[in-house]
Structure 1
């Protein structure tokens, strides 16, 4: 167990070690197996892991741990911030105490980082949800996976006079980061993501194309709205980020950006469209107003450490 940042004792016959970037594919396979078992569908992609792990400020080996059966990764956990983490156990290896051990590892890592709480997302009612509840974790917030029903069309939304919606250019990137981080930090209690880290998760995400990052500019050319959209798993137009500058809200900009994002995703092969939101944002009503429906509910469970 040399090199594991916090104590973790695996069940007999298994071993543990910190992960490295080349373990990303194995992590995706474990997460995909868990998602398929617990929700009936797979949303994770290797690009998601590589984008997050590619942040300049992130030390993969210092923030992760893997549980192995021989050379096969069967479970993993990571700390993505002082109070945020994620974990997955392959369904074939459940019932052996691995999930409980990973929860203990995450708690120890959070304490070492000076945090007083650690939490992670799980599908509501899933085995992971029940395990964390049994371990004393409380629900911090709910989140919802929303989908646009197959064949549904969103009525066009007009931008205010003088405003333009287009692909972002490299010259827009810093302004995009500012708009997105300002909007998300209104309700998310975390440090501002450094610009280079943000770029790694957006334009540095494997497979990035210019149409994935879109902006609304005002009559003076300033960026006032941003969306990040891509085609996930070859079929779903997924809106990963949508943000409007605070002083520009209530003018239909976010709705116009959603209409555009879903349309451009369809033009690039998407057959469905979706996004995630949570109870901290207050945005559920916005998405329902444009015709989206709740497809699945997740909870973020946390525990004081």
Structure 2
């Protein structure tokens, strides 16, 4: 499960949409998920990622903050597959044409993924979308399955990490420019700047302020330093960074730079590298030993991240199919 963007229409299935059936192996059952299923969903995601990537960086907060968006209806947007009481697979139409799925590795190859792909397509079609897709590690079982089912590759994405031993070299801001924590009164301006920046290259609708906030200041454990703003001497907003901590397998927190953007007329001044270094330094000051982020070919920012010392740790493929 990775936050991603896809072309889509705005229509959504309503809570009155009937549950669609699944062609599952004998003995398995399915039902819509509830918030109480979040730990089991996280376990399924993590199990797949450990096989595909060697580790998982997903957290319970990632799952819950996505499901707690005001516009989201978990009852019509999810389905869980169960072997008795154990969740063995799930699908989530997170946005009209963006889906997340996972199947426990020891249940792969039984046709569950194919059944979930059909469910996702039916649900997206019922909601008015003309395309639906997902993002998965390159060469993984899910990637191979989606390719075989006719999903075309749209773009490539990467996870990058600042290694624990890498020295954080200070990057000064231009004269008169400062960086500080966002206050509640700054949230709408930060939302506008970040959404404007991401909509330059992504084909999607603008995320509402409420849904945007559910993933940032509404996220469990949010602290003011998680949203940092860059301003000029007049107080005008020039850039914004969202970074949060995630617990590692060994209990040591890591930092994830979820969003970073600079206003178009301020690019080329060295703001973005300074903002990244600020995020890395703050994360380390709060106990993080690793810092990482995700980007893709549409954003064209991989070179920037590598120049501040980050290295690619995994490659992902975004695949989509027309409905």
TM bin, normalised by shorter chain, reads: over 0.9
Listed one character per residue, the Cα deviations across residues 39-96 of structure 1 (whole Å, up to 9, x for unaligned) are 1101110000111111101111111110011111110001111211110001121111
Is the CA contact 2:156–2:318 (under 8 Å) kept in the aligned structure 1? yes
1:172-187 aligned at under 5 Å gives the runs: 172-187=186-201
Of 288, 291, 294, 2:309 maps to 291
Q: How does 1:148-167 map to 2 (within 5 A)?
A: 148-167=162-181
Moved >6 Å (runs of 4+): none
* Partner secondary structure for residue 61 of structure 1: helix
Residue 127 of structure 1 pairs with residue 160 of structure 2: no
**Helix, strand or coil for the counterpart of 1:121?**
strand
Per the TM alignment, residue 4 of structure 1 is displaced from its structure 2 partner at its CA by 5.8
| 8 Å CA contact retained: 2:69, 2:215 | yes
Aligned counterpart, 1:66: 80
Match of 1:263 in 2: 281
Distance 2:22 2:196 in 1: 37
Give the superposition deviation at 1:164: 0.9
- State yes or no: 1:106 paired with 2:131: no
- 1:223 aligned to 222, 225, 237, which one? 237
Equivalent residue for 1:248?
Answer: 266
1:66–1:73 contact (8 Å) kept in structure 2? yes
| Residues in 2 aligned to 1:191 and 1:3: alpha-carbon distance in whole angstroms | 23
SS class of match (1:120): strand
RMSD: 1.4
Under a length normalisation based on structure 2, what TM-score does the superposition of the two structures give? 0.91
Rounded to whole Å, the distance in 2 between the matches of 1:194 and 1:237 is 25
Give secondary structure in 2 for the equivalent of 1:256.
Answer: helix
Task: Report the counterpart of residue 67 of structure 2 in structure 1.
Answer: 53
Q: How does 1:58-97 map to 2 (within 5 A)?
A: 58-97=72-111
Find the aligned partners of 2:294 and 2:97 in 1 and give their Cα distance. Answer: 20
Retained in 2: the 8 A contact 1:226–1:244? Answer: yes
Within the candidate set 288, 293, 300, 1:282 is matched to 300
| Structure 1, gaps ≥5 residues long | none
- Higher mean displacement: 223-232 or 196-205: 223-232
Instruction: Give the alignment's TM-score, normalised by structure 1.
Output: 0.97
Q: How far off its partner does 1:288 sit?
A: 1.1
Partner residue of 1:8 out of 14, 22, 25: 22
SS in structure 2 at match of 1:19: coil
Equivalent of 1:239 in 257, 260, 278: 257
Number of residue pairs aligned between Structure 1 and Structure 2: 304
- The 2-side partners of 1:163 and 1:144 are apart by 30
Do the aligned partners of 1:140 and 1:301 also contact (CA within 8 Å) in 2? yes
Distance 2:20 2:316 in 1: 28
| SS in structure 1 of the partner of residue 44 of structure 2 | helix
Deviations 1:189-244 (A, max 9, x none): 11100001111110111111111111111111122211111222243221011111
Report the alpha carbon displacement of residue 154 of structure 1 after superposing the two structures with TM. 3.4
Retained in 2: the 8 A contact 1:4–1:18?
A: no
Task: Tell me by how many angstroms 1:301 deviates.
Answer: 0.9
Query: Does the 8 Å CA contact 2:168/2:281 hold for their aligned counterparts?
Result: no
- Structure 2: stretches of 5+ with no match in the other structure: 1-15
1:28-47 to 2 correspondence within 5 Å?
A: 28-47=42-61
